[in-house]
Structure 1
């Protein structure tokens, strides 16, 4: 057989549809069901744990810094390991990677529930983040291998709807479990879900692996990329505490740049690079990755303040605030499959651009909210935001994964998730800094205008920190009229900062809409699965 013929045969093995069989293994829609169960566990965990944090702190006597590490340790592990985890899936098969991730995530969740100290909880949360990183790129890699190009949008749409539903359920389920069972039950709930994912995976999933996949690991590349991601995400997390101009923040950010440049240089020299830089010759894929960063910056950064607005300004319970966010998440649940079907017909460009314009309009609308705004007005903007985000989440994911060759589908899935993590962390930190600056700017004037007793020094710092999360710091024994004035001033100052955050988010969404014009449908055929 000639070299040309051998090459053609190998390419056909990578892209041609496998022969149909009578069994259920590899069935595309059952594959989607299986990976959805696994990813549901990770998505649910993303919001459910936040509800449990106060109970954990009270039960174990943990400090605020300890509780922050419960979240930050998980996010760091997830962000640092995502792309490497995708490469593991490309090398050893996405089925095996998914199964290890599902079992490990459930087991580490159980370990957290049985842990008797905050230190062990933090350690197991880091481990949980590592297993979560294995799950998510593997899920996208399995979908990439099971569905043909013309149906991949629909599959990712349904996958996105499951993530939206799980994210929405987190605060409600978490609130009910913490209130009526225990904070440990928030983690124990992952055990049955993980076992279901394992059983379905062993029964249904067929390995998705290209024969072109690298046979070795780029260890220097993994070290450099992991170092760059750690320095970047850690710098972003600590910047609001240290200050954006602080030498420590600049050192971490500068270190991230140096490590990133070194990584890019090494990729041009490595025999089998972790991320072949030729992947980014696809303008659509590169635009999709940047679009995911901007979308996450705008969405997660802004919505971070909504929970404070609902709970601290409007006085809602965690469960009530989760219910009030249902119009947004419901639109994401319904909109994601619809967006996938629409993109299958007309491609991703128009839905992505329209979605980001809707998101920008929702952000502009939410910047007009006041301390006394009613549920009807809030719901209007939440609905518009959910409708806007659906096609962007689905479209950007398909653009990234669909434009990558099959042998790099895991890396592409890791890139998509890493872009979302970096964008969300950056948005929360940057908008948080803008919020703090705005509160610091308007609070003294509003305080003085209300003729409240002057505060200075440490008192003002405590007041400012409370107002930044929407809390009205009313001392015990304060007369009711004065307490009302303090609450009014505090909430007005918070809303001023929140409005600025939403305005910036709207501008970022408009930039993302322009970037959406560069996207197009994945041009690399996935190789259709069976029984479609």
Structure 2
């Protein structure tokens, strides 16, 4: 590859920033198109696979634990590797890192589709998560380096809209593929998308590197941070099964904390630290990271229950439930670019404070959902949630990446994505535990109030587990229709009681996040990069 270096000044126009460019190569908006196509694979895959899991379980004869690890293995690998992947982009170039991620993600997707055992599926899903981790920080690093300061927020807004659309489209696309083709097609679809993304990236992307980009790699830091993230996410994933007070959960969290302390101590003496701690001297960057954790905690943790509500309480198919959540998707698609433009004009602080308050209102509204809630009311709360989330997705990303020096743009992108993964995992686990506790507390009371026959302990325990998911098991043969209807009503009401409490707590977290947003401000964007073509 030939190389020429062009110095750019902050806030320069496209033509000023790269006077030697010609044609498609290095064009900011085409760069956005190329990275968005690659990122679509990762975000779509995060939700599309959940629809395929029942078919995979049936076809491969997998256990429930095996099916769970198809998702958990992917999320664990993604969370553990994100910050390290960002550092790889800073060290070796975001273009190369992004292309490696696309190729690896597409190849492992094809390998999953060809797998004949659940063990092989899980192994390739872990590899898929590692390659996926390369894509997200590199995408943000490319956008940060390519766009002039006055257009960066708009670019991040469009990027956020693509992520929101592909995430929400997952259940719909997955349902159609599984229903009309097979579960393998859910993974095979990434192969042509990946090929197209590779061709676009080869034609368009330019390798941006700051003059003072890192020249060495902090291997001890990688080991320590990866270990800390692994034990933290492992504990969060397994806590619902083990119990939060179980020794295994407690020790996993203790090991995570000790390993994190060791990592922080090492980073203070490392000559080229993996995660330079001086980044957190920036109050806006630190606030943006905390804000991303809190936003993901409430959003992902709360929405975890919505699919169970739509499918098990309302009896919708996976495709229908996905269609009912389109107001959320549509509002995020529309509001993200608008939020980017607004944040460019007035800064991120006020839009994000207002957006988190809107999110809180939506969460409190979702806490009122009942068995008979209609589509119009659901659409109102879903749409309001999308309206609130969009400015936070855009603003927090800009705050974290924009307040980091350009040579650490990849690490900042990894930090943003890791904060979202950790927040989402914590939200799902913590709110799930709160909900389960409320269901098991409410179910016996409502069962007695309905004057239903007392169940043996084992049957009561099975009923409680089903109620956590809003599933009303079939009534025993010979049960009068009125009694069977009462049983289903009790189960659904107990589920709704737990879901209502979970969304209420998510709303409170959103209010706290609005307070954190007060400490944010827009990034300075530093000096633009040198460009290696």
Tell me the TM-score normalised to structure 1 length: 0.96
Matched, 1:502 2:492: no
Secondary structure class of the residue paired with 2:269: coil
> Which residue number corresponds to residue 113 of structure 1?
113
Secondary structure class of the residue paired with 2:207: coil
**Cα distance between partner residues in 2 of 1:61 and 1:476:** 27
State the shift of 1:23 in Å.
2.3
State the shift of 1:211 in Å.
2.2
The answer to whether the 8 Å contact 1:148/1:529 transfers is no
- Once the two structures are superposed, the pairs formed by residues 320-399 of structure 1 within 5 Å of their partners are 320-399=320-399
Matched, 1:285 2:285: yes
Matched, 1:460 2:440: no
**Cα distance between partner residues in 2 of 1:54 and 1:309:** 18
> Which residue number corresponds to residue 219 of structure 2?
219
Q: Does the C-alpha gap of structure 1 residues 387 and 13 become closer, same or farther in structure 2, counting only changes over 3 Å?
A: closer
The answer to whether the 8 Å contact 1:147/1:528 transfers is no
> Which residue number corresponds to residue 481 of structure 2?
480
**Cα distance between partner residues in 1 of 2:214 and 2:317:** 51
**Cα distance between partner residues in 2 of 1:456 and 1:208:** 66
State the shift of 1:200 in Å.
0.4
- Once the two structures are superposed, the pairs formed by residues 285-304 of structure 1 within 5 Å of their partners are 285-304=285-304
Q: Does the C-alpha gap of structure 1 residues 30 and 92 become closer, same or farther in structure 2, counting only changes over 3 Å?
A: same
**Cα distance between partner residues in 2 of 1:51 and 1:161:** 22
- Unpaired segments of 5 or more residues in structure 2? none
Q: CA RMSD in A?
A: 1.5
State the shift of 1:22 in Å.
2.1
Over residues 356-408 of structure 1, what are the superposed CA-to-partner deviations in whole Å (9 max), with x where a residue is unaligned?
00000000111111121111111110010000000000000010001111110
The answer to whether the 8 Å contact 1:165/1:329 transfers is yes
State the shift of 1:218 in Å.
0.4
The answer to whether the 8 Å contact 1:235/1:249 transfers is yes
**Cα distance between partner residues in 2 of 1:397 and 1:131:** 21
> Which residue number corresponds to residue 276 of structure 1?
276
The answer to whether the 8 Å contact 1:148/1:528 transfers is no
Q: Does the C-alpha gap of structure 1 residues 452 and 520 become closer, same or farther in structure 2, counting only changes over 3 Å?
A: same
Secondary structure class of the residue paired with 2:209: coil
Secondary structure class of the residue paired with 1:316: coil
Over residues 130-169 of structure 1, what are the superposed CA-to-partner deviations in whole Å (9 max), with x where a residue is unaligned?
0000011000000010012221110000000101111121
**Cα distance between partner residues in 2 of 1:224 and 1:318:** 40
> Which residue number corresponds to residue 7 of structure 1?
none
State the shift of 1:226 in Å.
0.2
**Cα distance between partner residues in 2 of 1:49 and 1:524:** 37
- Once the two structures are superposed, the pairs formed by residues 365-444 of structure 1 within 5 Å of their partners are 365-444=365-444
The answer to whether the 8 Å contact 2:8/2:529 transfers is no
**Cα distance between partner residues in 2 of 1:448 and 1:201:** 63
**Cα distance between partner residues in 2 of 1:148 and 1:208:** 13
**Cα distance between partner residues in 1 of 2:529 and 2:337:** 19
Q: Does the C-alpha gap of structure 1 residues 125 and 14 become closer, same or farther in structure 2, counting only changes over 3 Å?
A: farther
The answer to whether the 8 Å contact 1:298/1:509 transfers is yes
> Which residue number corresponds to residue 91 of structure 1?
91
> Which residue number corresponds to residue 6 of structure 1?
none
> Which residue number corresponds to residue 28 of structure 2?
28
Over residues 59-83 of structure 1, what are the superposed CA-to-partner deviations in whole Å (9 max), with x where a residue is unaligned?
1111110000000000000000000
**Cα distance between partner residues in 1 of 2:155 and 2:527:** 13
**Cα distance between partner residues in 2 of 1:482 and 1:141:** 60
User: Structure 1 runs of 4+ off > 4 angstroms?
Assistant: 10-16
**Cα distance between partner residues in 1 of 2:459 and 2:149:** 60
**Cα distance between partner residues in 2 of 1:48 and 1:88:** 28
The answer to whether the 8 Å contact 1:285/1:399 transfers is yes
Secondary structure class of the residue paired with 1:268: helix
> Which residue number corresponds to residue 181 of structure 2?
181
State the shift of 1:527 in Å.
2.3
